[in-house]
A and B are shown apart, each in its own frame.
Chain A
Amino acid sequence: MLKIKDLHASIEDKEILKGINLEVKAGEVHAIMGPNGSGKSTLASVLAGREDYEVTAGSAEFGGKDLLEMAAEERAREGVFLAFQYPIEIPGVSTTNFMKTALNQVREHKGLDPLDAVSFLKLMKEKMQLVEIDQSLLSRSLNEGFSGGEKKRNEIFQMAMLEPKLSILDETDSGLDIDALKIVANGVNTLKNKDNATIVVTHYQRLLDYIVPDFVHVLYKGRIVKSGTKDLALELEEKGYDWIKEEVDATI
């Protein structure tokens, strides 16, 4: 589904991603871990099409298409979803209205008619239950005054609404209390099927107890320096990153 080869990206002439290689197949869950500032969010943003970053080398293919050629909205319509580490506030625009606009543009891209009000509401209700989010939150201005946890839950709600092929969850677990974490994880798991894939960026093994990854990668200084199974996450939890850093720094 997603094939990243030797991806380099920089911002303001500072190279952040220094040759990322990663393949994600349909039905898989990949976890990306790594110390602060290693480039996890950058990778997520580059994949989602944020224009501030300049891709200087490498390629990314999504569903057989050149991902890097596409504008952000095209990527989204093709099924790339990013749950933001820091969701953005849009005053005066409710989540409901936001989702209606987004969903209909995605549907249009797929050659589908816009959803009528009744069907849209039905879909909303169903997805609201999935992430146990309250109607009143969805009527408020998007992310404005939301608590940290509410923002994250709202991201997953949006993901549920849009049913993407590839979801990238950037530290969706941070700021969530234990109950919320379970709810969000349960939402992600329910949405999972053999045709979609998930990349979870996290610092904590805890989330991976609930969203069990097929692969775990460690990102350090803009490269994936180690990959393994979920056991790698356990090992990191126990030992921290120093041993990996030492290994890597010794070879540079």
Chain B
Amino acid sequence: MSKDNQILEEFTSKEYEHGWSIDIESDQAPKGLTEDTVRFISAKKEEPEWLLKWRLDAFKKWQSMKEPKWPNVSYPAVDYQDIIYYSAPKKKQQLDSLDDVDPELRETFKKLGISLEEQKRLTGVAVDAVIDSVSVATTFKDKLGELGVIFCSFSEAVKEHPELVKKYLGSVVPTGDNYFAALNSAVFSDGSFCYIPKGVRCPMELSTYFRINAANTGQFERTLIIADDASYVSYLEGCTAPQRDENQLHAAVVEIYAAKDAEVKYSTVQNWYPGDKNGKGGIYNFVTKRGICAGDNSKISWTQVETGSAVTWKYPSCILKGDNSTGEFYSVAVTNNYQQADTGTKMIHIGKNTKSRIVSKGVSAGHSQNSYRGQVHVMKRASGARNFSQCDSLLMGDQCGAHTFPYIDIENSTAQVEHEATTSKIGEDQIFYCTQRGIDEESAVALIVNGYCKEVLNQLPMEFAVEAQKLLALTLEGSVG
């Protein structure tokens, strides 16, 4: 260690000593966010010094930033000093049987067709040893281990693979990228880490479901996916079951890095608690998701089905840096009652002959507001870039709103950019045609909406797609008649 560094070290640890005001033994940080909170979290997680510095740097940036006001959503101001930023991972309360579970929740599970075992897992009912998801996960992990695939919690990765984390963390979403990303970088709790080595085609869908220690990643989730040269992975996040959380604010960050010839497919179903019929309660979901096609011929594909949250703010994006790289965004966003969603994508074409495809299907019902916001940016160097965007909005009733905000910046005249947008209403005719065949109104709406979203749902892995279809129907329940 050089002398300068030593001094610096001493100096910072001194500051640390003085500044320290939070009891490290405590299970949870006191309300509010200060530098001490950040230090507390990092210490709790026994993180290396570089990560603490990284967090503190993010915190400084966050302090100097303002919450964005441009999204087409409105919600009461969040008091960032009234939030607890760390509590020790709690075990879910163990229940003896499903009979102890809230009947309303069970009804929803039934409608979604979630198996009994899965219901038990989700609600924290003790599961029979044979089907215990942990044992499934272990077998699963062994298999991945043979291939050199790393799939673990973020905290575990910090301990076991610090060199990879250090190299890629923040490389796609820098700490100061935006207000919520900065916040997440400062206080992120946990999340998933995934590394696919060169030339490996991951033989199964990597689902957070199978990850051990997945419980309670909390409101500031951090995910990092790295696909090395010529590798492939399909990654699933979230589940269709309704997710409740006492934390109202969620600000996750997902970073994807695709090296040369690599392909990453990221699918997610988001079903956070949307609030009640009158718009009370519900989760604010402010997410930063971005992938970089760093190498030539790489591909990143985002597929999302967004049905939950009171307020959603989310723009999974692709930086198409490698030549001939491809970015895709397939999205279904459904809002009902008083939900608000402002979601879309950014496709940044940097490399030559880069291609992007955007298919966005918005469905609004009730009093909800649903906005598509998308940017296609073709940089100077990106000769031969191509983009196709299709943004459709479907309205149910006349109290809701659908909005489209497409931004197109072209700096290279060889670019080909196509944008199509439609707005339609579910027709009485269509519903009558269905009911005349014996289909009840709710199923009719579900059928029509699923048909409308088909192109996106087709992108999802099979079982996920089936669940997602049911979820759409459930979200729109009560929106007709």
Binding site for B on A (CB under 8 A): 48-52, 71-73, 75-77, 81-82, 84, 87-93, 97-99, 101-103, 105-106, 109, 141, 158, 162
Say if the beta carbon of B439 comes within 8 Å of chain A: yes
Shortest CB–CB separation between residue A200 and chain B, in angstroms? 17
A141 partner, pick from B434, B438, B443, B451, beta carbons under 8 A: B451
Q: Are A73 and B441 in contact (CB under 8 A)?
A: yes
Interface SS majority for chain B: helix
Contact A72 B435, beta carbon cutoff 8 Å: yes
In the complex, which residue of chain A has the Cβ closest to the Cβ of B440?
A73
B143 interface contact, C-beta 8 A: no
Contact between A90 and B435, CB atoms less than 8 A apart: no
- Please, which residue of chain B has its CB at the minimum distance from the CB of A102? B437
Determine the distance from Cα of A75 to Cα of B436 in the docked complex, in whole angstroms: 8
Q: How far is the CB of A110 from chain B (nearest CB, A)?
A: 10
Can you name 22 A-B residue pairings with CB atoms under 8 Å? A49-B436, A72-B436, A73-B436, A76-B437, A76-B439, A84-B436, A88-B430, A91-B451, A92-B450, A92-B452, A92-B453, A92-B454, A98-B434, A99-B437, A101-B439, A101-B447, A102-B438, A103-B438, A105-B443, A106-B437, A106-B438, A109-B438
A177 shortest CB reach to chain B, Å: 25
A88 CA to B433 CA in the complex, in Å? 7
Residue of A whose beta carbon sits closest to that of B458: A92
Q: Are A101 and B443 in contact (CB under 8 A)?
A: yes
| B427 interfacial by beta-carbon distance below 8 Å | yes
Q: A76's closest neighbor in chain B, by CB?
A: B438
Chain B residue at minimum C-beta to C-beta distance from A144: B451
User: Tally of A-B residue pairs with Cβ under 8 A?
Assistant: 80
Nearest CB in chain B: distance from A252 CB, A? 33
Q: Which B437-479 residues have C-beta < 8 A from chain A?
A: 437-441, 443, 447-448, 450-455
Contacts of A102 in B (CB 8 A): 434, 437-439
**Which of A49, A52, A109, A141 contacts B435 (CB under 8 A)?**
A49
A141 to B434 Cα, complex, angstroms: 14
Shortest distance from the beta carbon of B145 to any chain A beta carbon, whole Å: 38
B427→A98 contact, CB < 8 A: no
Q: Is residue B67 contacting chain A, with contact meaning CB distance below 8 A?
A: no
Partner of B438, one of A73, A88, A89: A73
Chain B residues whose C-beta falls within 8 Å of the C-beta of A49 in the assembled complex: 435-436
Which residue of the partner chain, among B436, B443, B451, B453, contacts A82 with CB atoms under 8 Å? B436
Give the residue name and chain of the A residue nearest to B448 (CB): A90
Q: Kindly provide the distance from the CB of B309 to the nearest chain A CB, expressed in whole angstroms.
A: 25
Determine the chain A residues whose CB is within 8 A of the CB of B433 once the complex forms.
Answer: 84, 87-88, 90
Complex Cα gap A52–B304 (Å): 37
> B429 at interface (Cβ–Cβ under 8 A)?
yes
Residues in B with CB closer than 8 Å to A105 are 438-440, 443
